[in-house]
């Protein structure tokens, strides 16, 4: 009984810390908002092909830049985001679903980063090695926060993946902010940046750091000519600033209110079922 009394506050904390996913009253099945997106990430050949497509385009840009390069030009560089661009964490998202969690969970994400089990995205290693072999420097910029260990954990992830340029000079970890612009400008001071790789428009420009869905889409359309030239974008249906545009924050809490907000986003342009316009 004494043990039970001690456990009650802990059980209450666990219950309140993460509101569980909804249960279908008819079937008893868990309704998990992440299921479709994670099933796509885990199984779709099309999803993986988009990475090859992106790295093939990036390589064409690097080849063209190398061909144009004249003696005395600044060194060439590529700027790359890390998560969902070069490293994939499907197993983490699968873990969330296995625990009936339907929103990103910061605490288990930190454990996942420490576990160092992320995998290189399809084509990433070959592209980065091509850059290395041709003296095109790769700079990694990632927004992560696992406390004091953040930099060393991120570096370990890159080293384990076998990526070149995995060192202090080429890796920047932003713990306090997702604003990559300052680091990008610093790299541009000394290098000609051929292409930037990311899964989030914010990886390319801070202009996209908006909480309004329409403004974000309009900003992207204004830059449409840059995709496939300056910017190479990879798919990410589970997280990113598109989530922030819906919820006002990048890591919304698992709550009934946020599930309703997500559903409202999905209904944004829904058909009413009528035959006429
Ligand atoms: Mg990313």
* Separation of alpha carbons 150 and 161, rounded Å: 17
Read off the pLDDT of residues 174-198 as tens digits, 9 standing for 90 and up: 998 889 999 999 999 999 999 999 9
Residue of 198, 219, 222 lying closest to 210 (CA atoms): 219
State the distance from the centre of ligand 1 to the C-alpha of 88, rounded, in angstroms: 9
Architecture category of domain 31-258 in CATH: 3-Layer(aba) Sandwich (3.40)
State the distance from the centre of ligand 1 to the C-alpha of 270, rounded, in angstroms: 29
State the distance from the centre of ligand 1 to the C-alpha of 71, rounded, in angstroms: 34
Read off the pLDDT of residues 51-85 as tens digits, 9 standing for 90 and up: 999 999 999 999 999 999 999 999 999 999 999 99
4/226: higher pLDDT: 226
* Separation of alpha carbons 254 and 169, rounded Å: 38
* Mean pLDDT for the stretch of residues 136-158: 97
Read off the pLDDT of residues 5-38 as tens digits, 9 standing for 90 and up: 454 444 444 444 456 666 666 666 667 999 999 9
Note the pLDDT of residue 2.
Answer: 54
State the distance from the centre of ligand 1 to the C-alpha of 105, rounded, in angstroms: 16
Residue of 78, 82, 73 lying closest to 57 (CA atoms): 78
State the distance from the centre of ligand 1 to the C-alpha of 231, rounded, in angstroms: 14
pTM, whole model, 2 decimals? 0.89
Residue of 180, 195, 179, 194 lying closest to 233 (CA atoms): 195
Question: ∠ at Cα 208 (202, 211), nearest 5°?
Answer: 110
Kindly list the domain boundaries of the chain, sorted by start residue.
31-258
Note the pLDDT of residue 178.
Answer: 87
Residue 17, class by beta-carbon neighbours within 10 Å (0-12 exposed, 13-18 middle, 19+ buried)? exposed
């Amino acid at each position: 009984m004494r043990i039970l009394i001690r456990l009650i506050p802990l059980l209450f904390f666990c219950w309140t810390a993460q509101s569980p996913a909804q249960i279908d009253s008819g079937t008893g099945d868990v309704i998990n908002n992440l299921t479709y997106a994670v099933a796509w990430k885990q199984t779709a050949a099309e999803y993986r092909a988009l990475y090859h497509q992106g790295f093939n385009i990036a390589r064409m840009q690097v080849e063209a830049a190398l061909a144009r390069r004249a003696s005395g030009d600044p060194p060439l560089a590529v700027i790359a985001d890390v998560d969902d661009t070069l490293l994939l964490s499907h197993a983490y998202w699968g873990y969330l679903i296995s625990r009936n969690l339907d929103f990103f969970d910061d605490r288990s994400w930190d454990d996942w980063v420490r576990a160092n089990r992320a995998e290189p995205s399809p084509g990433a290693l070959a592209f980065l090695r091509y850059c290395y072999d041709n003296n095109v420097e790769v700079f990694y910029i990632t927004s992560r926060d696992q406390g004091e260990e953040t930099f060393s954990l991120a570096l370990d992830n890159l080293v384990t993946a076998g990526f070149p340029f995995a060192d202090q000079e080429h890796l920047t970890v932003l713990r306090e902010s997702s604003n990559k612009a300052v680091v990008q400008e610093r790299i541009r001071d000394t290098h000609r940046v051929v292409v930037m790789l990311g899964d989030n428009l914010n990886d390319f420009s801070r202009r996209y750091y908006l909480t309004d869905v329409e403004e974000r889409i309009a900003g992207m359309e204004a830059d449409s000519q840059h995709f496939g030239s300056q910017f190479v974008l990879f798919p990410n249906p589970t997280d990113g600033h598109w989530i922030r545009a819906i919820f006002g924050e990048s890591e919304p809490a698992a709550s009934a209110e946020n599930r309703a907000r997500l559903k409202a986003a999905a209904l944004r342009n829904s058909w009413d079922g009528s035959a006429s316009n």
